[in-house]
Amino acid sequence: MLDFELYNPTKLVFGKGKIDKLASLVPVKAKILLAYGGGSIFKNGIYEQAIKNLAGFEVIEFGGIEANPHFETLMKAVEIVRDKKIDFILAVGGGSVIDGVKFISAAVLFEGNPIDILKKRILFKDLSKVIPFGTVLTLPATGTEMNSGAVVTIVATQEKLDFGGSAMFPKFSICDPTVIVSLPKRQLQNGVVDAYVHVLEQYLTYSHDGYLQDRISEGILQTLIQVGPSVVENPADYTLASNFMWSCTMALNGLIQKGVPSDWATHMIGHELTALYGIDHARTLAIIGPNLYRVMFETKKGKLAQYGKRIFNLTGSDDEIANEAINKTVGFFQTMGMKTKLSECTGDYTKTADFIVDRFEERGWKALGEKQNITLEKVKKIIEMSF
Ligand code: NZQ
Ligand code: ZN
């Protein structure tokens, strides 16, 4: 096992009606910016619950944070936080709103041009340099409610870039599984697949001796396979909703990544597809992931075979099992409503591979993956296989 340090200060408050705890979680006398997205919180009653529980606090609202949050929009909130001397931010929304709030939190006191937070991938470690924030999660998927990363889109250049650091954990996150009843089926499907691929990014690498990490990862995968297809049909079922929500958090709160290698190339390529074509984040992963496993077959064969045996009960030679495990993964994504080819999602894809490879080259991203052996040539092949 590799050496590791584990630090996760986020207080997770999980369960039905836990938004009632809001007043006790927000710092006393805080002046709060309540940040939200396109308005779903007004339709499903979450806004009302939040406001009711913040009675007595000074609250300023900032709405309109887009899915795949825009740097340009977030900068407007940064101005408000500076002008009004806000000292706490509350994100009420999905991954986009929460990531947007992480950016606002980091940008307010940033010395220099905040675009560099993304362009230069600044690490935030000093709590005195960020505005503290908490979250009310409305969409299980990303794990951002309990991690220290965020992804933001610069519209002007069509770039989707990430940043983070140990100062970027939420102070608290309220996770009430009943919030998922108002989610469109498409977003529920996205949530299951995003979380599933988060596990695969940290699990489908090469064989190692992190036995417990593997078993925890396999537990999350099995739970997502167990509840995924039914939770999208019955989001009001609390057993399904709570297992779904907790699996998503556990998939990317840092725990399963400790002491083991990780990949993340599927996400790096996927982010480009969202930036270029607006394809939902999870849907880009369903397109890229399986082809990446095919192209990187020799590197990943051992873990693919373990995955095939333990998750899908496959038998045969390791090569046969590993291959079939990829097919089973595609099958699961399709069961979850994913299209697994780029041509099914956009008509404008022929130059995609060259464009992304050029971009990666400019950024110096020439060796990706757990063994740094996903070269630009391989990136091109992975994308072209996805057409
Ligand atoms: O904007 P509103 O009106 O709130 O509507 C949203 C949005 O249209 C809606 N929604 C959210 N909760 C709802 C709801 N509708 C009805 N009822 C509810 N309870 O769902 C739509 C999608 O929301 P969004 O926040 O964009 O989805 P998600 O949570 O999947 O977040 C995706 C973003 O997170 C990033 C992605 O790249 C993408 O930008 N990621 C962040 C990660 C992280 N910080 O660790 C890791 C992930 O890999 C991912 O990259
Ligand atoms: Zn993801």
Separation of 194 CA from ligand 1 center, angstroms? 11
Q: 228: Cβ below 6 Å to ligand 1?
A: no
CA distance linking residue 5 with residue 134, whole number of Å: 23
Number of domains in the chain: 2
What pLDDT shows up at residue 174? Answer: 98
CA distance linking residue 220 with residue 239, whole number of Å: 15
What pLDDT shows up at residue 346? Answer: 85
Which residues of the chain fall below pLDDT 70?
A: none
4 belongs to a structural domain: no
2 belongs to a structural domain: no
Give the angle subtended at the CA of 120 by the CAs of 87 and 289, to the nearest 5°: 100
Separation of 98 CA from ligand 1 center, angstroms? 8
Q: Ligand 1, atom 48: nearest CA belongs to which residue?
A: 142
130 belongs to a structural domain: yes
Same domain, 38 and 56: yes
Separation of 229 CA from ligand 1 center, angstroms? 19
Q: Which of 178, 199, 224 is the last residue of a domain?
A: 178
Structure-token pair, residue 284: 């880009």
Q: Relative to the CA of 67, which ligand 1 atom is closest?
A: 26
Structure-token pair, residue 10: 């986020």
Give the angle subtended at the CA of 147 by the CAs of 366 and 188, to the nearest 5°: 90
Q: Which of 178, 194, 222 is the last residue of a domain?
A: 178
Q: 138: Cβ below 6 Å to ligand 1?
A: yes
Phi and psi at 119, nearest 5°, equal -65, -35
Which CATH number covers residue 16? 3.40.50.1970
Same domain, 140 and 231: no
Which CATH number covers residue 294? 1.20.1090.10
How many CB atoms lie under 10 A from the CB of residue 118?
A: 23
Q: Which of 148, 178, 208 is the last residue of a domain?
A: 178
CA distance linking residue 264 with residue 12, whole number of Å: 25
Same domain, 59 and 130: yes
Same domain, 135 and 214: no
Same domain, 129 and 216: no
Separation of 325 CA from ligand 1 center, angstroms? 29
| pLDDT digits 0-9 by tens, 260-312 | 999 999 999 999 999 999 999 999 999 999 999 999 999 999 999 999 999 99
Question: Is 259 in contact with 211 (CB distance < 8 Å)?
Answer: no
Structure-token pair, residue 20: 């009632």
CA distance linking residue 299 with residue 192, whole number of Å: 26
What pLDDT shows up at residue 152? Answer: 98
Same domain, 173 and 192: no
Of 356, 387, 362, 369, the residue nearest 158 (C-alpha):
356
Same domain, 253 and 144: no
3 belongs to a structural domain: no
366 belongs to a structural domain: yes
What is the residue range of 122's domain? 11-178
What pLDDT shows up at residue 132? Answer: 98
Burial of 364 (0-12, 13-18, 19+ CB in 10 A): exposed
Reported residue count of the chain is 387
Amino acid at residue number 345: C
Q: Ligand 1, atom 8: nearest CA belongs to which residue?
A: 67
Residue 69 makes CB contacts below 8 A (sequence gap 6+) with 96, 97, 99, 100, 103, 152, 153
Same domain, 250 and 163: no
What pLDDT shows up at residue 347? Answer: 83
Burial of 63 (0-12, 13-18, 19+ CB in 10 A): middle
Q: 164: Cβ below 6 Å to ligand 1?
A: no
Among the bound ligands, name the one nearest to the CA of residue 194: 2
Phi and psi at 149, nearest 5°, equal -115, 165
Same domain, 241 and 310: yes
What pLDDT shows up at residue 170? Answer: 98
| pLDDT digits 0-9 by tens, 125-173 | 999 999 999 999 999 999 999 999 999 999 999 999 999 999 999 999 9
CA distance linking residue 36 with residue 316, whole number of Å: 50
Same domain, 76 and 91: yes
Residue 93 makes CB contacts below 8 A (sequence gap 6+) with 35, 36, 37, 40, 41, 65, 136, 137, 138, 139
